[in-house]
Structure formats: C-alpha cells, structure tokens
Amino acid sequence: MTDPISLRPIGHLETPWHSIKDCPRNGRQPDPPPVCLAHVLPAFQDGLLRLEGFSHLILLYWLGPAVAPEMRFTPPFAAEPAGLFATRGPRRPNPIGLSVVSFDGFAAPGILRVRHLDCLDGTALLDIKPYLRSTDCEPEATMGWLAPHATARPAKGP
C-alpha cells in the first residue's frame, strides 16, 4: 500500500464549456479553437518565469469528484469493449485530465492564453509543463485499436 497523495490546485481554468456534454471530445475542437485562460494563483506565479517562447504546454487538471471507475466499456464510436487504460475515457480511478495546449502568451500577469483545452469552466489546474517536441513527441508512435478513430488538429496556415 502506498502513502496517501495530497494535491493542491495552483489555479483554475476558464473555458466556454459549462456542462460535460458541451466539452470537446478527443481533440474535436470548434474551428477556430476558442482561447481559454489558465489562471495561476499568486503563490505560484514565480514559476511562470521564462515560459514565454514555448508554443505548447502540457496542462494537468482535476476533473472533479471521483466516480466509480469503469474498467471496461464500449466507447460510443467502437463496436467492441476496451479496457479503461486503452482509452481516454473519463471514468478513471483518479480524475486527472491532461491536455497539450497551444500557448498564446499572457493575457495579464499570472493568466495564460491557451487553445485546445477540453475541460469545464472552473476546473482546478494542478500543474503546467512546457511541451518539448524532443521529449514529448515520438514520430513513430502508434495508436493501437484507436488508429481508425484518430482526430487531428488542422494544420496551421502560413
């Protein structure tokens, strides 16, 4: 048995989505994706030093009260069941969300402008990490059974 884990939010996320049914699923964003805001509490704002210049960030957030995990289920777009850990399904043992977002700079001190976020307005922000193409991207990565269902972000224009 492991020791209990304690988390504390470093801020909150501001998005246009106020219900689960409104949230984009699996990268399916409106075009253009809306600008969302990551509000960082004053106690953690020194940690934002030198964040400008990164094009993308990894945001970790708390999806809300834990619900009973669904260890095997049939996703709405699939014909056969899959194990929870082979999906991006939300009913997880620990409701931690992760998004790779485009970083559009600071709206104000301690407030980051981001796009491609897929969580409810007011979601607790747990951590921010710079996305590093050399570390976080594997060009030869495969998507297993999800490959036929892949969604892609539109290519950036000139």
pLDDT 10s digits, 119-132? 999 999 999 999 99
Least confident window among 23-37, 83-97, 105-119, 123-137: 23-37
Q: Which two tokens stand for residue 158?
A: 């000139």
Place of tokens 């209990």: 4
Query: Is the pLDDT score of 110 beyond 60?
Result: yes
Would the pLDDT of 6 be above 60?
yes
Could you give the CA distance from residue 16 to residue 34 in angstroms, rounded to a whole number? Answer: 8
Phi, psi torsion values for 143, nearest 5 degrees: -110, 15
Q: Which CATH number fits domain 11-133: 3.50.30.30, 2.40.30.70, 1.20.1740.10, 1.10.3470.10?
A: 2.40.30.70
Q: Tell me if the pTM is above 0.85.
A: yes
| CA pair distance 29, 90, nearest whole angstrom | 17
Q: Tokens 């689960």 correspond to what residue?
A: 20
Locate the domains of the chain by residue range.
Answer: 11-133
